[in-house]
Structure 1
């Protein structure tokens, strides 16, 4: 049984890539499954091994497949998630095509709306989870990475509760960029993010007060975002020196 159409075009590599992506996105190949071998793909597409390898490499860079070595090696389909989106934005930030000012502007538009939607869709069964996430921000942490992870969990939880997976993808991407800067530059995370700031947002969400939730999130982000914009200057200088 053949999965793909022969390629007859000057843009061979891109056409191969498009068909492979299409096969993954339409679940012809599911997470954990191995793509056909290079030889089989060459026969189906009627192209050279070099073209197939270039297309597979592009799939790997985009997070669609994982390359394994050894007797059972090959290209295995990954379980696509939000990390691929976040990594793409992170690459743009590292190459100076996105700034923290850009990110802060988007966060000020997106996250208050996420908080409002979270209040709208809040279910009482989620109350303990949100309150526990907030409490865990203030216990002893084992590393800066652990500290930043704890400080972002409430944002991720609200993004999930809001009910819009695209908002969730955007929020997670922005949090990844924020963590990149904070971990590299900030020596005192408490100056950036004081205790109780998330609690006010959570209380508004639990009360299902949509406008209050949006207002508290905007207030939380306002000073925090300004600090991040200033921190980016230090971040860029450190990158140049490395």
Structure 2
């Protein structure tokens, strides 16, 4: 191969991880492609198989690789998506580095702006997706995860319509953290968030009224933010007891 530099430090697995990550990011290994075998990587890096396995595991946990078993199995490069950003922020929240107070403050600043931009960018090509997102809030939910996914999808659709990929990544990250709390400590989701609560925002976006879209989104988030901040306390207690 000739891609990599032999490892001669005490931090061998981390150095292998960094070189493999750089190779993936630079395009030497495309999404869907298979990494060389453990034997090949061991020879090229001149380290033990244990070091290679640890580096592969680090790449898997970071979202760069997916491990497949059986015939044709091995370490395959994943297609990096916005979900990786969300996973990173979720890790920060779960380690108590990031609080729901901070998340809610950011939501109250960003999501009204997302709604405003969505109203400005809205066109006929967006209509079906937005209407479907609203309609799906009123179907029978199959499970709690299904209910959360349907009740938050409007936020994801608006973030996509707004046309700013960074805003979309942030919105999805905040929704992932919120879902973690709700799934863990809220037994009855209807009490916290019911179907149809996005209607005013959606109508403002569809009519192209950017100012009203931002106002309606802020109103929608205000009460919910207070409740979710309080629920974080329950979540933290639950996690301490579980640990």
Same topology, TM > 0.5: yes
Q: Does 1:19 align with 2:19?
A: yes
Q: Partners in 1 of 2:37 and 2:128 — Cα distance?
A: 49
Q: Which residue of 1 is the match for residue 201 of structure 2?
A: 201
Matched, 1:69 2:69: yes
Instruction: Tell me which residue corresponds to 2:4.
Output: 4
After superposition, give the CA deviation of every residue in 1:39-73 in whole Å (9 maximum; x if it has no partner): 21222223333332221111011011112334533
Distance 1:194 1:48 in 2: 55
Matched, 1:103 2:103: yes
> Which digits, 9 at most, give the CA deviation of each residue in 1:129-149, with x for residues without a partner?
212211221222122221111
Distance 1:126 1:174 in 2: 23
Q: Shift in Å at residue 10 of structure 1?
A: 5.1
Residue ranges of structure 1 left out of the alignment (5+ in a row): none
Deviates more, 1:5-14 or 1:69-78: 5-14
Aligned-pair Cα RMSD in Å: 1.9
TM-score by length of 1: 0.91
Task: Return the alpha-carbon distance in structure 2 between the equivalents of residues 9 and 2 of structure 1.
Answer: 19
What is the DSSP-based 3-state SS (H/G/I as helix, E as strand, rest coil) of the residue aligned with 2:198?
A: helix
Name the CA distance, whole Å, in 2 between partners of 1:209 and 1:11: 56
Bigger drift between 85-94 and 6-15 goes to 6-15
Q: Distance in 1 between matches of 2:136 and 2:112?
A: 23
Contact map agreement 1:124 1:206 (CA 8 A) in 2: no
Question: How far does the alpha carbon of each residue in 1:204-223 deviate from its partner, in whole angstroms, 9 at most, with x for none?
Answer: 11122222211111111110
Distance verdict in 2 for CA 1:57–1:187, change over 3 Å: closer
User: Paired residue for 2:145?
Assistant: 145
Q: What TM-score does the superposition give when structure 2 sets the normalisation length?
A: 0.91
Greater alpha carbon shift after TM alignment, 150-159 vs 182-191: 182-191
Aligned length: 242
SS of the residue corresponding to residue 104 of structure 1 reads helix
Given that 1:38 and 1:49 are in contact with CA atoms closer than 8 Å, whether structure 2 keeps it comes out as yes
Deviation, 1:9, is: 4.7
Q: Conserved in 1, the CA contact under 8 Å of 2:6 and 2:45?
A: yes
Worse-matched range after superposition: 219-228 or 158-167: 158-167
Aligned counterparts of 1:29 and 1:95: Cα–Cα separation in 2 = 32
| CA distance in structure 2 between the partners assigned to 1:52 and 1:201 by the alignment | 50
Which blocks of at least 5 consecutive residues in structure 2 are unaligned?
none
Q: Distance in 2 between matches of 1:180 and 1:10?
A: 37
State whether residues 137 and 196 of structure 2, in contact with CA within 8 Å, keep that contact through their aligned partners in structure 1. no
Q: Matched residues in 1 for 2:194 and 2:65: separation?
A: 40
What is the alpha-carbon distance in structure 2 between the residues aligned to residue 196 and residue 142 of structure 1?
A: 18
Aligned to 1:128: 128
